[in-house]
Amino acid sequence: MKNANILIVDDNKSILSALELLLKGKCASVKTLSSPNMLLSTLQGKNFDVLLLDMNFSAGINTGNEGIYWLQRVLEQEPGISVVMITAYGDVELAVKAVRMGASDFVLKPWENEKMLATIESAYRLSSSRREVKTLKMKEKQLIEEINRPGKSLIGSSPAWLQVIEMVHKVAATPANILITGENGTGKELIAREIHRLSDRAKKVMVTVDMGSITETLFESELFGHKKGAFTDAHTDRTGKIETAHEGTLFLDEIGNMPLPMQAKMLSVLQNRTITRVGENVPVPVDVRLICATNCNLLQMVSIGKFREDLLYRINTIHIELPPLRNRKGDVSELALFFLNCYAAKYHKTPLSLSAEAIEKLEAYAWPGNIRELQHALEKAVILSNGSELKPSDFIFRIGESNAEGNFWGTLEDMERRLIAEAIQKSSGNMTTVAQQLGITRQTLYNKIKRYGL
């Protein structure tokens, strides 16, 4: 209660003095008023947590109606504040009425100091909880607005891309589960967000889970949540990602990385529409619209026993395959100009343009890292630019290039990035194969992919 700001309104100055003395050193501030006439204006000037309000102010009038009147006015103006009514024994029935109208509690004159302090502390906690809920709701609203902002990065006019956009508009309004496939960097998450934005769940949250970044031991806790004490590090209750997405959209990115035991549990969630937190036995109903994405060949994984066939059918009601950038003729220049303008603004560069030769070079490149690699290339070029026009020399692609002596150009990072990009291209985006070829774990591979913008 040390952070509490408390306002006391009572026409009895001895009561004001007694309460000031009682609360001295126990809260941040105490302000007193001997008349309610300045109550509303005083509340406007500062964020009070608790209001202690007498029920009678006019001499000779003990009906308590004055307290009820000011309670109503206060709650209309400051709905988050906790109001504790101060009343005489004979007004208990009226005090109960005040609680029904929105007061948090009441205390009787004369009071016991310990009980008064406990009542004020309880009222302060209630006020703090209301403010936290209000803050969370504002953050949730801002998050939803950000998620539902029209997809400015859904740029392109090639036939292959327009076909994808047409499919998105057809399926967004349905409750169907959707599987989005495609190489790394083709924009799978952007498409998932656009589907959510156009759906009837747009006013709720979209929760994204990167399955490639969760260690196997934390899968169940991350998705289903856990009860305090369920395992060694479970110091508090935690709501899982699936429950958080209730009435909204759950986006499972890189679902091909989900371990088989978790696949069985996810299948149960989709069939029963319930989850059970780790450490609990009570099922919790959930209502989510599922969108999954992967760069893996799930049919091939089914054939070798790495992915459940029944789960594949559950998540694959609608399948959207995103084309690689090399198959989107004409979209490269449009995307490049979009990223150019974005990063020119971000890094406070003078208005930049792309020379015709630079555009020609960008369009001729195969872009094994797809849109993500193009975005990275434009950002780097903008940062290092000196003039107002980017030229072909501002874009250096390391993949497949070597000098006359057969050595790679560039730094060790350039070489590593080149090897990873080539391995991804040769394996058609199968991350398991890529990791095996490079002699690293899948987790390390995903970290490097994110680092290099592949």
Number of domains, the chain: 3
Token duo for residue 447: 């970290």
Residue 184 has pLDDT above 50, yes or no: yes
Q: How far apart are CA 143 and CA 126, in angstroms?
A: 25
Say whether both 414 and 289 belong to one domain.
no
Residue 405 has pLDDT above 60, yes or no: no
Q: How far apart are CA 56 and CA 390, in angstroms?
A: 77
> Mean of the pLDDT values across residues 197-211?
90
For the entire predicted model, the pTM comes to 0.62
Q: pLDDT band at 402, cuts 50/70/90?
A: very low
Average the pLDDT over each of 55-59, 352-356, 373-377, 419-423 and give the range with the smallest value.
55-59
% of residues, the chain, pLDDT over 70: 90
Q: How far apart are CA 403 and CA 336, in angstroms?
A: 28
Say whether both 127 and 41 belong to one domain.
yes
- Dihedrals phi, psi of 119, to nearest 5 degrees: -65, -45
pLDDT per position as a tens digit, 317-370:
999 999 999 999 889 999 999 999 989 999 998 789 999 999 999 998 889 889
Q: What angle do CA 306, 307, 311 make, to 5 degrees?
A: 165
Domain end: 76, 108, 139, which one?
Answer: 139
Say whether both 342 and 315 belong to one domain.
no
Q: pLDDT band at 407, cuts 50/70/90?
A: very low
Mean of the per-residue pLDDT values of the chain: 85
* Residue 192 and residue 293 in contact, taking contact as beta carbons nearer than 8 Å: yes
Secondary structure (DSSP) of 119-138: HHHHHHHHHHHHHHHHHHHH
CATH value at residue 179:
3.40.50.300
- Dihedrals phi, psi of 26, to nearest 5 degrees: -105, -10
Computed from CA positions of residues 32, 34, 36, 41, in that sequence, does the dihedral angle turn out positive or negative?
A: negative
CB 306: neighbour CB atoms within 10 A? 16
List the domain range (segments joined by +) for residue 287.
148-323
Q: How far apart are CA 186 and CA 153, in angstroms?
A: 11
Say whether both 117 and 171 belong to one domain.
no
Say whether both 313 and 351 belong to one domain.
no
CATH value at residue 413:
1.10.8.60
> Mean of the pLDDT values across residues 152-170?
89
Q: Which pLDDT does position 128 carry in this prediction? A: 86
Say whether both 129 and 193 belong to one domain.
no
Say whether both 259 and 389 belong to one domain.
no
Indicate the residue type of 57.
F
